[in-house]
Amino acid sequence: MFGGLGLYLVFALPALILGLWAQWKTQRAFRQNAEIRTARGLTGAQVARSVLDGNGLTEVRVERVDGFLSDHYDPRGRVLRLSPDVYDGQSLSAAGVAAHEAGHALQHAQGYGFLALRSAMVPTVQIGSWIGPVIFMVGLFMAGTFGTTLAWLGVALFAAVAIFALVTLPVEFDATRRAKQQLVSSSIIVGNEMRGVNAVLDAAAMTYVAAAVQAISTLLYYVFLLMGRSEE
Ligand SMILES: [Zn+2]
């Protein structure tokens, strides 16, 4: 019989390892290219400002936020928040990440569909990501049809998390595509500097692929656990 641990080893563990590997690769690429100063020498804050202003988004603010790789665009406040390494950095890493976050602001301004969908899903996903697994586990340990129904409800809630992770992929890949395009067209990044920028942004994109794989494999893990139970 294919037990719970066997299922975990097949579904959840490889995805978890993939996620950790992608994170490690991103941090390494970021740190390596944070040592390389761009020829133009703009800080991440200046890069973001330049991309935003160049696209008529003068009202979007650029702020410094604490943390490492904590950079993000806040569509509600229309604020781009950059971590200290990026905000003040004059490196390939700083330019790449700053332009990527500015890419999200461009998506927002242009009404990019997947970004709107992703934002609309946030409340459901915030609830689903923690209540889903809890309801699932409670249902799994309860006897009878009620327990099974409850567990399937947990699976459905967690399915929203997996769909969210999938919707995130086009959003992130598009932001990176825009970033690369903006950096080259505005000559913020010149010559072979793009190689380092690509290394950082492509590694970061991999973490979102890993997160999607993780969410889907966790969902499958739940489904198979539950199906195994119903047969008993
Ligand atoms: Zn992003």
Q: Which residue has the higher pLDDT, 232 or 14?
A: 14
Confidence of residue 143 (pLDDT cuts 50, 70, 90): confident
Residue 92 CA, ligand 1 centroid: distance in Å = 17
Domain holding 200, by residue range, is 4-231
**pLDDT, average across residues 94-114:** 97
Residue in 63, 101, 172, 193 annotated catalytic = 101
Contacts of range 127-135, beta carbons closer than 8 Å, 24 or more positions apart: 127/157, 128/157, 128/158, 128/159, 128/160, 128/161, 129/158, 129/161, 131/157, 132/156, 132/157, 132/158, 132/160, 132/161, 133/158, 133/222
pLDDT at 160 over 60: yes
Q: Say if CB 177 and CB 141 are below 8 A apart.
A: no
Q: How far apart are CA 121 and CA 163, in angstroms?
A: 9
pLDDT at 117 over 80: yes
pLDDT at 8: 77
59 is catalytic: no
pLDDT at 225: 87
Angle, alpha carbons 98-108-128 (nearest 5°): 95
Q: How far apart are CA 139 and CA 65, in angstroms?
A: 41
Q: How far apart are CA 62 and CA 94, in angstroms?
A: 14
Residue 171 CA, ligand 1 centroid: distance in Å = 7
Residue 12 CA, ligand 1 centroid: distance in Å = 25
pLDDT at 2 over 60: no
Q: How far apart are CA 60 and CA 96, in angstroms?
A: 18
pLDDT at 3: 62
pLDDT at 173 over 60: yes
pLDDT at 1: 41
β pairing state of 61-64 and 79-82:
parallel
Q: At what angle do helices 92-109 and 12-34 cross, to 10 degrees?
A: 120
One-letter amino acid at 136 equals: F
The pTM of this model reads 0.90
In terms of Cβ atoms closer than 10 Å to its own Cβ (0-12, 13-18, 19+), residue 210 is buried
Confidence of residue 230 (pLDDT cuts 50, 70, 90): low
Query: If residue 104 lies in a helix (H) or strand (E), which one and from where to where?
Result: helix 92-109
Q: Which residue has the higher pLDDT, 5 or 124?
A: 124
Residue 37 CA, ligand 1 centroid: distance in Å = 22
Q: Which residue has the higher pLDDT, 220 or 60?
A: 60
pLDDT at 229 over 80: no
Residue 201 CA, ligand 1 centroid: distance in Å = 9
Residue 36 CA, ligand 1 centroid: distance in Å = 22
Token code pair at residue 2: 């294919």
pLDDT at 232 over 60: no
Question: What's the domain count of the chain?
Answer: 1
Q: How far apart are CA 155 and CA 208, in angstroms?
A: 21
pLDDT at 144: 86
Token code pair at residue 42: 């703009």
Token code pair at residue 144: 């009878």
| Among candidate residues 39, 43, 48, the one with its CA nearest the CA of residue 79 | 48
Residue 18 CA, ligand 1 centroid: distance in Å = 19
